[in-house]
Amino acid sequence: MSANTRIPSPDQLEKVDSWGMQTSCISSVFRPSLPEQISDIFQTALAAQQNIALRGAGCSYGDASLNAENIILDFTRMNRILAWNPQTGEITVEPGVTLEQLWKYCIGDGWWPPVVSGTMRVTMGGAAGMNYHGKNNFKAGPVGDHILKFQLLLPTGELLHCSREENSDIFFAAIGGFGMLGCFTSITMQMKKIYSGMLEVYAFATNNFAHIIQEFEKRIPQADYLVGWIDCFAKGKELGRGQVHEAHYLQQGEDPFAMQTLRIEKQELPDSLFGILPKSIIWRLMKPIAHPVGIQLLNMLKYKASATLGNHKTIHQSHAAFAFLLDYVPNWKNAYLPGGLIQYQSFIPEQNAEECFKAQIELCQRRKMVPWLGVFKKHRKDDFLMSHAVNGYSLALDLRVTERNREALWQMAQDLNKIVLAYGGRFYFAKDSTLTSTDAEAFLGRDAIEKFESIKRRCDPHNLLQSNLSRRLFPLLNVVETVQPHVSETAL
Ligand SMILES: Cc1cc2nc3c(=O)[nH]c(=O)nc-3n(C[C@H](O)[C@H](O)[C@H](O)COP(=O)(O)OP(=O)(O)OC[C@H]3O[C@@H](n4cnc5c(N)ncnc54)[C@H](O)[C@@H]3O)c2cc1C
What CATH number is given to the structural domain containing 398?
A: 3.30.70.2520
Asked if pLDDT for residue 202 goes beyond 60, the answer is yes
- 3 state SS of 204: strand
Region 143-165 average pLDDT = 98
pLDDT in the model for residue 483: 46
**Range 412-435 average pLDDT:** 98
Answer whether residue 241 is part of any domain.
yes
Q: The domain containing residue 338 runs over which residues?
A: 198-438
pLDDT confidence band for 4 (50 / 70 / 90): low
Residues 207 and 333 occupy one common structural domain: yes
* pLDDT category of residue 2 using cuts at 50, 70 and 90: very low
According to DSSP, residue 98 is labeled B
CA distances from 374 to 19, 95, 230 (A): 18, 30, 5
Tell which of 141, 175, 193 closes a domain. 193
- Does residue 179 lie in a domain region? yes
Q: Is there a domain that residue 138 lies in?
A: yes
Model pLDDT, residue 219 = 98
Long-range contacts, stretch 165-172, CB < 8 angstroms, 24+ apart: 169/455, 170/455, 170/459, 172/383, 172/384, 172/385
pLDDT at 176: 98
Model pLDDT, residue 488: 42
Q: State whether the beta carbon of 65 lies less than 6 angstroms from ligand 1.
A: yes
C-alpha dihedral (31, 35, 38, 43), degrees to nearest 10: -150
Q: Are residues 156 and 301 in the same domain?
A: no
- Which residue is closest in CA terms to ligand 1's atom 53? 59
Other CB atoms within 10 Å distance of the CB of residue 10: 8
62 Cβ closer than 6 Å to some ligand 1 atom: no
Residue 423 · residue 440 · CB < 8 Å? no
pLDDT at 442 over 70: yes
**Angstrom distance (rounded) from CA 203 to CA 244:** 6
Task: Tell whether 311 is covered by a domain.
Answer: yes
> What would the pLDDT profile of 183-200 be if each residue is shown by its tens digit?
999 999 999 999 999 999
Same-domain check for residues 152 and 133: yes
State the closest ligand 1 atom to the C-alpha of 123, by its place in the atom list counted from 1: 25
* Ramachandran sector of residue 178 (left: φ over 0; alpha: ψ -120 to 50; beta: rest): left
Asked if residue 65 has pLDDT above 60, the reply is yes
* pLDDT recorded at residue 281: 80
Same domain, 125 and 22: no
| One domain for residues 256 and 362 | yes
Sheet holding 159-163, edge to edge: 81-85, 90-93, 183-190, 147-153, 159-163
By percentage, how much of the chain surpasses pLDDT 70? 93
- Which range among 240-244, 333-337, 375-379 shows the weakest confidence by mean pLDDT? 333-337
Per the prediction, the chain carries an average pLDDT of 93
- What angle do helix axes 406-422 and 437-444 make, rounded to 10 degrees? 20
Alpha carbon of 274 to ligand 1 centroid (Å): 33
Final residue belonging to a domain, choices 193, 224, 245:
193
Mutation probe of ligand 1 site: the residue of 74, 132, 344 with most atoms within 8 A of C-beta: 132
Number of domains in the chain: 3
388 and 246 co-located in one domain: yes
95 lines ligand 1 (CB under 6 A): yes
Which CATH number belongs to the domain containing residue 35 in this structure?
A: 3.30.43
Task: Sheet with 198-206: list strands edge to edge.
Answer: 313-318, 198-206, 242-249, 225-230, 373-379, 392-400, 341-349, 426-427
Q: Are residues 48 and 187 in the same domain?
A: no
Count of beta carbons in the 10 Å neighbourhood of residue 146: 16
Least confident among 33-47, 280-294, 325-339, 375-389: 280-294
CATH number at residue 122: 3.30.465.10
Q: What is the pLDDT of residue 275?
A: 64
pLDDT category at 489 given cuts 50, 70, 90 is: very low
pLDDT in tens, 257-267: 999 999 999 99
Of the pLDDT bands very low, low, confident and very high (cuts 50, 70, 90), residue 487 is very low
pLDDT of residue 452: 98
CA distance 483 to 145: 34
Question: Which is higher by pLDDT, 150 or 292?
Answer: 150
Q: Mean pLDDT, to the nearest integer, of 391-407? A: 97
Query: Whose alpha carbon is nearest atom 51 of ligand 1?
Result: 59
Does residue 114 have a cis bond before it (omega within 30 degrees)? no
Output the CA 55–ligand 1 centroid distance in Å: 9
Report the pLDDT averaged over residues 470-482.
78
Does 114 sit in the ligand 1 pocket, CB within 6 Å?
A: no
Higher pLDDT, 478 or 176: 176
Statement to judge: residues 410 and 324 lie in one domain: yes
Instruction: Please give the average per-residue pLDDT across 214-218, as a whole number.
Output: 98
103 with 17, same domain: the answer is: no
CB contact at 8 A, 321 and 267: yes
Ligand 1 atom nearest to 58, measured from its CA: 30
Q: Is 141 in the pocket of ligand 1 (CB under 6 A)?
A: no
Above 80 in pLDDT, residue 92?
Answer: yes
Residue 481 lies in a domain: yes
Q: Is the beta carbon of 357 within 6 A of some atom in ligand 1?
A: no
What tens digit of pLDDT does each residue of 273-294 get? 666 677 778 788 888 888 999 9
* Pocket of ligand 1 contains residue 54 by CB under 6 Å: yes
The answer to whether residues 99 and 247 belong to one domain is no
Asked whether residue 281 is assigned to any structural domain, the reply reads yes
Average pLDDT over residues 81-87: 98
Is residue 4 included in any domain, yes or no? Answer: no
Q: Is residue 1 part of a domain?
A: no
Q: What's the whole-number mean pLDDT along residues 218-238?
A: 98
Contact 389, 133 (CB under 8 A): yes
pLDDT at residue 329, as a whole number: 84
Q: Is 339 helix (H, G, I), strand (E, B) or coil?
A: coil
Answer with the residue of higher pLDDT: 210 or 331. Answer: 210
Judgement on whether residues 138 and 155 belong to the same structural domain of the protein: yes
* 234 and 326 assigned to the same domain: yes
Say if residues 227 and 135 touch (Cβ distance below 8 Å): yes
Boundary of a domain, candidates 159, 193, 227: 193
